[in-house]
Chains A and B, each alone.
Chain A
Amino acid sequence: DTGVSQNPRHKITKRGQNVTFRCDPISEHNRLYWYRQTLGQGPEFLTYFQNEAQLEKSRLLSDRFSAERPKGSFSTLEIQRTEQGDSAMYLCASSVPGQGYGYTFGSGTRLTVV
């Protein structure tokens, strides 16, 4: 068990470019979550997968954002036509079924849009 892995750790991109982040959850965790964290704020929920099914997307997730989890393993989060307001830390977390176990978080991907 190597924990939740996120790549890349840092990404600097020009406004208007597309970016993709990857998350590898703990292998036996069938739930996977994406959160966004801006400076001085707590994590904000973006989307949630149970196995390969995306069960909910936050209204924060505009149509420029898309997430996938093919085969219920790793997940990708893509942002198209990035804007400066997308600059944030993007956190991935995974958990076993049930609400009482808490999450295991990755170290995050810090996105800077210039």
Chain B
Amino acid sequence: AQSVTQLDSQVPVFEEAPVELRCNYSSSVSVYLFWYVQYPNQGLQLLLKYLSGSTLVKGINGFEAEFNKSQTSFHLRKPSVHISDTAEYFCAVTKNTGGFKTIFGAGTRLFVKA
């Protein structure tokens, strides 16, 4: 079975500062990794995904994430955040073969302050 641990439940940061949201996963098989963002009263939106190849993946809104197989991590980063980035961020994992459902972490609330 797969599991996802998001190491911070809340991350406050000032506008234009860099941010890192941490995610560790556990799986006995190879997986695909995702980050989703959820704005208030909305569904989740796909930010970026790692399937294979380069371990640094870029997504929408200036976010990027780095896959580290040895540390089983997939941390999300942004060099300079905006007020509009305030949202809940979810790390997620899916088996890359024979799987069909995605397992989500508990989420990290990013709060950007002026």
Contact = CB atoms under 8 A, between A and B. Distances in A.
Interface in A61-114: 91, 93, 99-100, 102-108
Nearest to B103: A45
A77 to B, nearest CB: 15
B99 A99 contact: yes
Contact of A40 (B92, B99, B106): B106
B101 A100 contact: no
B43 A48 contact: no
A108 B44 CA distance: 9
Contacts, number: 65
Interface stretch (B14-22, B45-53, B63-71): B45-53
B100 A31 contact: yes
B49 to A, nearest CB: 6
Contacts of A40: 9, 106-107
B104 A43 contact: yes
Q: Which range contains the number of B residues in contact with the other chain?
A: 20 to 34
Q: Which range contains the number of A residues in contact with the other chain?
A: 20 to 34
A91 B44 contact: yes
B34 interface: yes
Given A45-B101, A48-B101, A105 B43 contact: yes
Contacts of A4: 43
B104 A42 contact: yes
Contacts of A50: 100
A48 B49 CA distance: 21
A7 B95 CA distance: 30
B106 A108 contact: no
A56 B100 contact: yes
B90 A42 contact: yes
Given A6-B43, A99-B96, A100-B94, 4 more contacts: A40-B106, A43-B44, A100-B51, A105-B45
Interface of B: 4, 9, 32, 34, 36, 41-46, 49, 51, 90, 92, 94-97, 99-107
